[in-house]
C-alpha cells in the first residue's frame, strides 16, 4: 500500500527558541511533513526562524498556524502522538519511534495525525499528555535530553521510512475535540453516580482514558457513549424530581 504524509502535522507546544522552530520546519521539509502548528511560542522571530529553516522550508514557517490553547489546536486531529522522556504506571504505554511510525502510517490515509512535542525545558505535562492517544519515547543513555529539532527529525524520519509499508488502512476515527467532549460527559456521569475518589478526582476519568484510548473510537461510537451518559444523567435528574 502506498501512502503519503499529507495528513501529518508537527505541533510544537510552547517552543522557547525561534531557531528550534526553524530547524524543526527544515526537518519536516526534509521528510515530507507539510504542516506545523505552534502553541504559545515564547518568541516569534521570523528572521531567526527562516534562517534555520532555509529557503526550502520557508513555506512551512509562512503558513504555520499559531494557537493560544493546546486543546483547541489539537481539536481537528483524530490521533495525537505525544513525545515524552518519562514513563510511569499512570501514563499510556510508550512506543519506540519505529513501532509508532508503522501504526501511524496505517492511520494516516483516513485520519489527521498530530506529532506533539513539548517545550525544550520541561516537555509535556501530565495534563497535556492526556490529550494524546499514544506516547512515543526516544531511547537514550542516561543523558535523555534531546534537542527539540532532533526529536522532530527522529520521528519524521521513521514515518518517512515506514511510508508505503502499511498493511491495512484504518477508518476515520473520532477527533480530539469529540473525544474530549466525551471524557467531560463521562466525568459528569461519574460524579452523578458518585463514582469518584475524593483524594484523586480525576482517577476514574484517567483510567477510562487509558481504557478507551486503546479502542480507536469512531465518531459514531463516541456519540453512543455520550448518549449513554446523557441517559444516566437524565434518569438521575428525573429520580430527584419525583422525590421532591
Task: Kindly give, in sequence order, each residue whose CB lies less than 8 Å from that of residue 191, ignoring residues fewer than 6 positions away.
Answer: none
* Distance (Å) of CA 2 to CA 77, 129, 162, 237: 22, 31, 10, 52
pLDDT digits (tens, 9 = 90+) for 113-132: 999 999 998 889 989 999 99
CATH class of 176-243: mainly alpha
Predicted TM-score (pTM) of the model is 0.75
Please choose, from the candidates 114, 121, 129, 101, the residue with its C-alpha nearest in 3D space to the C-alpha of residue 67: 114
Domain ranges of the chain: 8-162, 176-243
Does 222 have pLDDT greater than 50?
yes
Retrieve residue 134's grid coordinates: 499514544
Residue 52: predicted pLDDT = 95
pLDDT tier for residue 2 given thresholds of 50, 70 and 90: very low
Please choose, from the candidates 26, 148, 159, 3, the residue with its C-alpha nearest in 3D space to the C-alpha of residue 81: 159
Q: Which of 114-123, 136-145, 194-203 has the lowest mean pLDDT?
A: 194-203
pLDDT tier for residue 240 given thresholds of 50, 70 and 90: low
Residue 140: predicted pLDDT = 86
Percent of the chain past pLDDT 90, that is, above it, reads: 58
Do the two domains 8-162 and 176-243 of this chain adopt the same fold?
no
Q: Environment class of residue 69 by beta-carbon count within 10 Å: exposed (0-12), middle (13-18) or buried (19+)? A: exposed
Q: Environment class of residue 216 by beta-carbon count within 10 Å: exposed (0-12), middle (13-18) or buried (19+)? A: middle
In 73-164, the DSSP E strands lie at: 79-83, 94-95, 113-117, 134-136
Does 211 have pLDDT greater than 60?
yes
Retrieve residue 166's grid coordinates: 502499511
Of residues 198 and 203, which shows the higher confidence score? 203
Average pLDDT of the chain is 88
Residue 1: predicted pLDDT = 37
pLDDT digits (tens, 9 = 90+) for 149-174: 999 999 999 999 998 655 555 678 89
- Residue carrying C-alpha cell 486503546: 214
134 φ/ψ angles, rounded to the nearest 5 degrees: -155, 155
CATH class of 8-162: alpha beta
Residue 225: predicted pLDDT = 92
Amino acid at each position: 500500500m502506498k501512502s503519503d504524509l499529507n495528513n501529518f502535522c508537527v505541533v510544537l507546544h510552547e517552543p522557547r527558541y525561534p531557531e528550534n522552530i526553524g530547524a524543526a520546519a527544515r526537518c519536516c521539509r526534509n521528510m515530507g511533513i507539510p504542516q506545523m502548528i505552534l502553541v504559545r511560542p515564547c518568541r516569534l522571530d521570523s528572521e531567526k526562524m527562516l534562517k534555520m529553516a532555509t529557503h526550502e522550508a520557508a513555506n512551512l514557517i509562512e503558513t504555520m498556524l499559531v494557537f493560544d490553547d493546546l486543546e483547541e489546536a489539537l481539536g481537528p486531529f483524530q490521533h495525537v502522538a505525544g513525545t515524552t522522556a518519562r514513563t510511569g504506571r499512570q501514563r499510556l504505554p510508550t512506543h519506540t519511534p519505529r513501532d509508532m511510525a508503522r501504526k501511524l502510517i496505517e492511520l494516516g490515509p483516513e485520519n489527521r495525525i498530530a506529532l506533539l512535542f513539548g517545550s525544550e525545558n520541561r516537555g509535556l505535562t501530565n495534563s497535556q499528555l492526556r490529550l494524546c492517544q499514544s506516547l512515543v519515547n526516544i531511547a537514550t543513555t542516561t543523558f535523555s535530553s534531546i534537542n527539540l529539532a532532533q526529536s522532530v527529525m527522529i520521528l519524521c524520519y521513521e514515518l518517512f521510512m515506514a511510508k508505503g509499508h502499511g498493511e491495512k488502512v484504518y477508518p476515520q476515527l473520532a477527533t480530539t475535540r469529540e473525544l474530549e467532549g466525551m471524557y467531560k460527559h463521562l466525568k459528569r456521569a461519574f460524579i452523578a453516580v458518585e463514582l469518584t475518589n475524593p483524594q484523586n478526582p480525576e482517577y476514574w476519568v484517567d483510567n477510562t482514558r487509558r481504557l478507551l484510548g486503546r479502542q480507536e473510537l469512531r465518531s459514531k461510537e463516541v456519540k453512543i457513549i455520550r448518549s449513554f451518559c446523557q441517559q444516566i444523567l437524565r434518569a438521575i435528574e428525573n429520580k430527584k424530581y419525583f422525590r421532591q
